[in-house]
Amino acid sequence: MDLLLTQLATGLALGSIYVIVGLGLSLIFGMLHVVNFAHGAFFMVGGYVGVFVFAKTGNFWFSLVAVPLVVGVIGMAVERVLIRPLYGRNIDDPLLLTFGLSYIFVEVIRITFGLEGIPFGTPRELRGAVDIGVGFIPLYRIFLVALTAAILIALWLFLEKTSYGLIVRAGARDPEIVRVLGIDISRVWLFVFGLGTGIAGLAGFLSAPIQSVNPDMGVPVLAEAFVVTVVGGMGSLVGSVVAGLLVGVVVSITSLFAPDMARVSIFILMAVVLLVRPQGLFGRKGAMG
Amino acid sequence: MLSLKDINAWYGLSHVVQGISLDVRPGEVAAILGRNGAGKTTLLRTIMGLIDRRSGIVEFDGTDIMQMPIHERYHRGLAYVPEDRRIVPGLSVRENLRLGFVGLRAKAEEEAVIAEACETFPRLRQRLDQEGVTLSGGEQQMLAIARALVAKPRMILLDEPSEGIMPVLIDEMYELFKRWKQQGLSVILVEQDVERALEVADRAYIVDQGRIIFAGTAKMLLNDREMQERYCSV
């Protein structure tokens, strides 16, 4: 029983990464109607930027702030230069563009940093384990859950309590009236793409101590992030949170009983959700159309 | 104030607005009438820059605004209330009103803006925290107008404000339009309800198949029963 509970806690920590990645993907889709196939690549770039900044500064906390900023700026440049010309066109166009872009990112990283992964140890401040009553779990995992909670609260406050958040919420529902009311929505799209990719980069750096940083680390993450957004409902932020944690727990519990099945389990979860509730747990019906 | 010169607009291959020219003077109410599908809504959307395939000149206060980004029109004092009102789902009445000023460069005081909207439309006062789309059709129309007024526009384009609304609320709205005239706010009023529209309008235009086929004073059209029946009856 205790083992199950510690595994559940591990699942929530793993789920935290999924939540952050899925949130970015969902935010970008809900607002820009762009299915960002480069999301995993931004995640991977975040891992490298973090390892690089940490190697130069030796400061984990500084790296933690620098990563989303650097990756977010790269994301904004991509939106402005590559994605913007495709607005108003078929939804497949930005999808294909970001798909191609993800390969370019991976190759650039391979050429620059090599094919081999770069190991990254847990930062000194966050080593050790904590007794959560039912057993010990690594401090770093508790840190992940706490940081995710902090990000969620910050995002919620931003969306619900600020004027800019109001614009983002309105723009996701009805971009035309937002423009008619004097708001330059292209700036909002730029910002949201930067935000979504920035937090994907952050997630990449956060997962560095769990897995090593390597050029292909974004590939499974992209698939997992899609599972999260499909299970939660495309464009629903609450959905991303619930589905992200759910996916983390499912992977973690499955790896306890049938380790070989862990990777596949989330796709089974997705298939079940799609059969029972095609729009996802928190999705609006027909939101894709 | 507003001067349209040879405006054309297309939806795909269909040429919906075919060379419309007209002028609206400061403080004037211009009624644009005609059957469904005549091109009235498309004309308003073209003025707002919402139709991609368009040509012609839209002069507002002496500058051609045709190529301007959509949002820039609002800052210049041109407001638009679309036919379907476009109350944003998921947002409260208050948030919908806030949406009217968050884009303004000179920051407005939220409480002052809300108070003014409630003074114009007292019905909104008890509903401020309700989701906007749960209001009745008439209340949504009032909210949409109140939202467009937040920026204190000098001209407002209204697309069928009385459509699907209880007569008592229509009366209330038209009282407001009359007050606007005294305040010098220019209006383009697209309406199905010809008699109502001509009651406040100074000038009237009838659009048929994308062209203006009647232009004159509201009084002239009011006396021309045949014209009204031929081109405006539903």
What structural domains and CATH numbers belong to chain B? 2-87+151-231 (3.40.50.300)
Position B234 scores a pLDDT of 55
- For B40-62, the three-class secondary structure string (H helix, E strand, C coil) is HHHHHHHHCCCCCEEEEEEEECC
Is B102 within 8 Å of A177 when comparing Cβ atoms? no
Is A184 within 8 Å of B102 when comparing Cβ atoms? no
Q: Report if residue A79 sits inside a domain.
A: yes
User: What three-state secondary structure class fits B154?
Assistant: coil
Q: Could you read off the pLDDT of A234-244 as tens digits, one per residue?
A: 878 889 999 99
Supply the DSSP string of A125-171, one letter for each residue: GG-SEEE-SSSEEEHHHHHHHHHHHHHHHHHHHHHHHSHHHHHHHHH
8 Å CB contact between A29 and A36: yes
Higher pLDDT, B112 or A285: B112
Position B37 scores a pLDDT of 87
Position A288 scores a pLDDT of 37
8 Å CB contact between B97 and B147: yes
B66 to chain A, minimum CA–CA distance in Å? 14
Q: Report if residue A287 sits inside a domain.
A: no
CA atoms within 13 A on the CB side of B149: 23
Q: Report if residue A128 sits inside a domain.
A: yes
A216 — pLDDT class (breaks 50, 70, 90): very high
Q: Report if residue A254 sits inside a domain.
A: yes
Is A84 an 8 Å CB contact of chain B?
no
The ipTM estimated for the assembled molecules is 0.92
Position A91 scores a pLDDT of 84
Q: Report if residue A182 sits inside a domain.
A: yes
Number of CB atoms found within 10 A of residue B126's CB: 10
DSSP count for chain B of H helices, then E strands: 9, 10
Q: Look at residue A289 and tell me whether its pLDDT is greater than 50.
A: no
Dihedral-angle region of residue B36 (phi above 0 means left; psi in -120 to 50 means alpha; beta otherwise): beta
- Per CB-CB distance under 8 Å, the chain A contacts of B70 are 179-180
Say which of A166, A180, A184 has its CB closest to residue B95: A166
Q: Could you read off the pLDDT of B98-134 as tens digits, one per residue?
A: 999 888 877 668 888 899 899 999 989 999 999 999 9
Is A55 an 8 Å CB contact of chain B?
no
Please give the Cα distance from A128 to B25 (Å, whole number): 76
Is A182 an 8 Å CB contact of chain B?
yes
Is B102 within 8 Å of A176 when comparing Cβ atoms? no
Q: Look at residue A273 and tell me whether its pLDDT is greater than 70.
A: yes
Is B88 an 8 Å CB contact of chain A?
yes
Q: Look at residue A90 and tell me whether its pLDDT is greater than 90.
A: no
- Per CB-CB distance under 8 Å, the chain B contacts of A183 are 71, 102-103
Number of CB atoms found within 10 A of residue B131's CB: 16
Q: Could you read off the pLDDT of A162-206 as tens digits, one per residue?
A: 999 999 999 989 999 999 999 999 999 999 999 999 999 999 999
Q: What is the mean pLDDT of residues A109-120?
A: 91
Position A285 scores a pLDDT of 56
Say which of B69, B88, B104 has its CB closest to residue A170: B88
Q: Look at residue B79 and tell me whether its pLDDT is greater than 90.
A: yes
Mean of pLDDT over chain B:
91
Say which of A163, A166, A182 has its CB closest to residue B74: A182
The secondary structure of residue B87, as a DSSP letter, is P
Say which of A88, A177, A185 has its CB closest to residue B88: A177
Q: Look at residue B35 and tell me whether its pLDDT is greater than 60.
A: yes
Host domain of residue A237 = 2-276
Count of domains for chain A: 1
Ordered strands of the B186-190 beta sheet:
B78-81, B155-159, B186-190, B29-33, B203-208, B211-217
CA angle B99, B103, B104 (to 5 degrees): 115
Q: Could you read off the pLDDT of B1-29 as tens digits, one per residue?
A: 899 999 999 998 899 999 999 999 999 99
Q: Report if residue A213 sits inside a domain.
A: yes
B199 to chain A, minimum CA–CA distance in Å? 28
Q: Cα torsion for B104, B109, B110, B114, to the nearest 10°?
A: -100
Is B107 an 8 Å CB contact of chain A?
no
Alpha-helical regions (H) of chain B: 40-47, 72-75, 93-98, 110-120, 137-149, 167-183, 194-200, 218-223, 225-231
8 Å CB contact between A148 and A21: no
Is A127 an 8 Å CB contact of chain B?
no
Please give the Cα distance from B188 to B40 (Å, whole number): 11
8 Å CB contact between B46 and B66: no
Is A180 within 8 Å of B74 when comparing Cβ atoms? yes
A227 — pLDDT class (breaks 50, 70, 90): very high
8 Å CB contact between A182 and B78: no
Q: Look at residue A142 and tell me whether its pLDDT is greater than 70.
A: yes
Q: What CATH code is carried by the domain that includes residue A76?
A: 1.10.3470
Block residue for tokens 């404000």: B161
Q: Could you read off the pLDDT of A25-81 as tens digits, one per residue?
A: 999 998 898 999 999 999 999 999 999 999 999 999 999 999 999 999 999 999 999
Cα first-last separation, chain B = 31
Q: Look at residue A286 and tell me whether its pLDDT is greater than 50.
A: no
Q: Report if residue A14 sits inside a domain.
A: yes
8 Å CB contact between A179 and B48: no
